[in-house]
Amino acid sequence: MDLIGFNLRVESAVEFAKKYSKALVLFSGKRPDVSRANEQEMQDSYSEARVMAEAAIELGLRNAVVLEEQSLHAGQNIKNSLDLLNGLELRRLLVVCSSYMGRRLDYYMKKELKERSLEGRLDTFIYDADVAQDAIGIPLTTVDQERKGQRILYEAKRLSQYRRKGDL
């Protein structure tokens, strides 16, 4: 698990939640690196969503929390989260993510909103938590900046692979 991105996402979500005390906070994701885990590791581990929620509560999150613990990839994060939120009469949805996930999540969000006939009825925002250090005062060390650069390069390669497969 990328702890830098993880921490920035959680801290950013907590800061937004403090500003919007009535906001519902949903954490999404099963176990990271699930494809490499054996069955016993899967049973013994917490979901990424649960770990993020517990970290957020330790940081002072007081908002209502929903966990989506089945998603294995970005498309499922969006689909399963929208399924859980179905019927709540939402007007706005903010997705806090790392910069390397932003484009994928934006693609899947637009696709899901279109399939659900929610285009124009639900305002969605994809917030890059990697810029959170400016918003909430988290300085990035040189090592953090190098890792961020490596993640962005890795994502560029993945986006290229998705385009070749026709997924983007």
Q: Note the helical H segments in 46-118.
A: 48-58, 74-85, 99-115
DSSP 8-class letter at 94: E
Q: What is the mean pLDDT of each run of 10 residues along the chain (168 residues)?
A: 68 86 90 56 73 92 92 92 90 81 87 90 77 46 49 57 64
CATH label, 3-137, candidates 3.40.50.620, 3.10.450.50, 3.90.78.10, 3.40.50.720: 3.40.50.620
Angle, helices 3-19/48-58, rounded to nearest 10 degrees: 60
Indicate the domain borders of the chain. Answer: 3-137
pTM (predicted TM-score): 0.71
